[in-house]
Amino acid sequence: TSYVTEAFLEGRTLVYGHRGSRAYAPMNTIPAFELAIQQGAQGIELDVQLSADRELVIIHDFTVDGTTDGTGAVKDLLFAELRELNAAAQFSPMAEPLNGHIPHYPFTMIPTLEEVFSLVKEGAPLDFIINIEIKAPYCRENGRDEAENDNGIEALVANCIDRYEMDRNVIISSFNPPTLQRFKAIKPAIPVGFLVEEASPAYTTGLIAQLLPESSGTRGHEAWHPRFSMVTTEAIAQERQEGRMTQVWTVNDATVAHQLRDWGAIGFITDMPDRILAALN
Ligand code: G3P
Ligand code: CA
């Protein structure tokens, strides 16, 4: 069984560093992931995309413009070009960590999925969880699964998980039901989380059931990953009744975290793992 499912069955709470400890270190970088481990998070969340030459790179936006010192679409840039960019170029902290100060981040490369797996294998607890969000262009904006979304990223992620033997440590998440369907077809035993927010195209709620049907004891998808602001106690109870865990994002407020836990949420994806851990412990 995967560690995330074990935690759910045992009623344990999971705190994930969103893009790492993103409040205090450049998002989706090795220093941000290291900090989340140091702060005692049970997991991290990260965003994965393909470079033009099909390397798995960890970056949130579809272009490099918002976080680095470069410009252009991630999918049009070669891996070597991406690696020259500074992923810390536009970093500004959201707050001070509870213990310590924010160091200066002079230059930090855009990491690969392999590098994150290596870091976790070397420096994190055995049951540390990596919530891998597969970014699929356009799905979030208009709900279409454009043909160009089917770029084979799911198979590359699955292959990387195999090579690093991270089967038990990962959960795959996506706003795009076809992405989750394609991943499940390759690795049925790995849990997947369906990401939703208020602005998600309405039809996607139906699409997930259509593409990942609950049949013969197989749960279509194991986790529901809603934006915290759309969650109700009834919705969490409903998911639980269907055997699904609820993991919420992005929870940076202690009061909100408490309420969501009372309602039955088990996962908390936060920019500030230290604060949410302190609040929930
Ligand atoms: O995992 C939840 C969250 O990461 C989804 O939104 O835009 O931060 O990737 P975003
Ligand atoms: Ca994400």
Q: Which residues line ligand 1 (CB under 6 A)?
A: 18, 45, 47, 60, 133, 173, 195, 225, 249, 269
pLDDT at position 73 is 95
CATH of the domain at 110: 3.20.20.190
41's CB contacts (< 8 A; 6+ apart) are 15, 16, 17, 21, 273, 277
Per-residue pLDDT of the chain (281 residues; tens, 9 = 90+): 999 999 999 999 999 999 999 999 999 999 999 999 999 999 999 999 999 999 999 999 999 999 999 999 999 999 999 999 999 999 999 999 999 899 999 999 999 999 999 999 999 999 999 999 999 865 555 555 554 578 899 999 999 999 999 999 999 999 888 899 999 999 999 999 999 988 776 656 678 888 888 875 566 899 999 999 999 999 999 999 999 999 999 999 999 999 999 999 999 999 999 999 999 99
The candidate with the shortest Cα–Cα distance to 67, out of 87, 94, 48, is 87
ipTM of model: 0.98
**60 C-alpha vs ligand 2 centroid, how far in Å?**
7
In Å, how far are 34, 43, 166 from 20, measured between CA atoms? Answer: 8, 9, 18
Question: Among all ligands shown, which has an atom nearest to the Cα of 175?
Answer: 1
* Spatial distance between the Cα atoms of 119 and 70, rounded to a whole number of angstroms: 26
**13 C-alpha vs ligand 2 centroid, how far in Å?**
19
Q: Which two tokens stand for residue 207?
A: 């699409």
Question: Among all ligands shown, which has an atom nearest to the Cα of 61?
Answer: 1
Q: Which of 196, 250, 269, 271 to mutate to test the pocket of ligand 1 (most atoms within 8 A of CB)?
A: 250
Element (H, E) at 148: none
Question: What are phi and psi for residue 238, nearest 5 degrees?
Answer: -60, -45
The neighbouring-strand residues paired with 249 are 227, 269
Whether residue 60 lies in the annotated active site:
yes
Whether residue 101 lies in the annotated active site:
no
* Residue 130, domain extent: 3-280
pLDDT at position 74 is 96
Q: Which atom of ligand 1 is nearest to the CA of 227?
A: 2
pLDDT at position 28 is 98
When divided into structural domains, the chain yields a total of 1
**47 C-alpha vs ligand 2 centroid, how far in Å?**
5
